[in-house]
Structure 1
């Protein structure tokens, strides 16, 4: 009997080792499997088959979103900017080529068609911001090139984005650009969107949409409203970091000019009172 119990305990111990001992090995194996799958998933984006399979993978989501858009159109006659950008994204996906889940894209501001392509407005900027969400939601990796790579901690807040090109590095792994043009009409804006290869400059997707004035005007009115600022006009030199070759006399001269422009209130009162006295005496 003792021999049987000993054999039973030995069997349980061995089975326990078989169950619990290889956990670390199993985790390592899972990591290796995941790395293998990721390496196999790398696609150079140069074949049409990759984008076709990518479209099939998200076809159900596309149909579901399209159905939801139709329902929203029936339930409400008024829509915001996101509604039109979402519809624009659906048209881009309908004829998308070469772009898939392994080809990162960058999204730029939409520019005015009748300009030198260096002029945009708040509507074009907001279209790009909304497209960041729509493209990412579709499953395409998006590169936010306005991220500086560091965080600026200030009294006004903590910031990681910038519009100063000197804050960015020259590296941008995006392989495609999402952008377009805008043309002002009497009733709104005609939007022309496209996805273009960075190196090939080939158009791999295109779409058109129309944003009515009822949607664009409130956005553009915000850009013309005065912006409030909490910054003081006089800046203390001890709290500002200037470059080594900066001429501090320029700032000193500027502060003196500001002081000369602003007269003390007591001097103003004296001048006004003396003028009043002279008028009474006359």
Structure 2
């Protein structure tokens, strides 16, 4: 097994593992030094961990979509974060509308579902449009061409949404059922942080099951490995790529 692992590892893999080990060592060393100085109590450390998990869960979901697109197209999609941004920015105005009408207070669960659906639908539409207009015509072009195109698409989406919604800070209305905190013994966890962590974990598990256990997921993995062979086996390449963009 070790021999097979050595054969599969490239010099780039070795460098990345070394960098990762160095970063991990620095984090452990810094954490140990901070703990020994006693600057923070156990409650502070628990808050730091929960905050890190909540923020990291969001970044992990974005990263999973990013790697899915790269895996099937072998292209760095610099516009991926803008696609993610388009949904929440659009859904903000839906949230403001249901809040001003009082519907958010009367039916918070239904309101949240509507907001989530609008957000996902917007991001999905932008992703499909981006793939169809910007990336599909360049699929057989040299790798530098779609790379530059994705940078241009990133700037285009940034300034489009800046023109539509402005560049100022926008805060979502407060949902009463997500206010407050839960106590875990002597430690507290904010409700919205717990919801973010649990939702992210469920979405990751669902995406993993979709890719590993469904026919579409297996087709996506096949296209990622070899597009020509997958096409000969009857797999619709364009459909699988669009499905990947939608899932991501």
**Greater RCO, CA 8 A, separation 6+:** 2
Query: Structure 2 length normalisation: TM-score?
Result: 0.25
Greater share of helix: 2
Greater share of strand: 1
Query: Structure 1 length normalisation: TM-score?
Result: 0.23
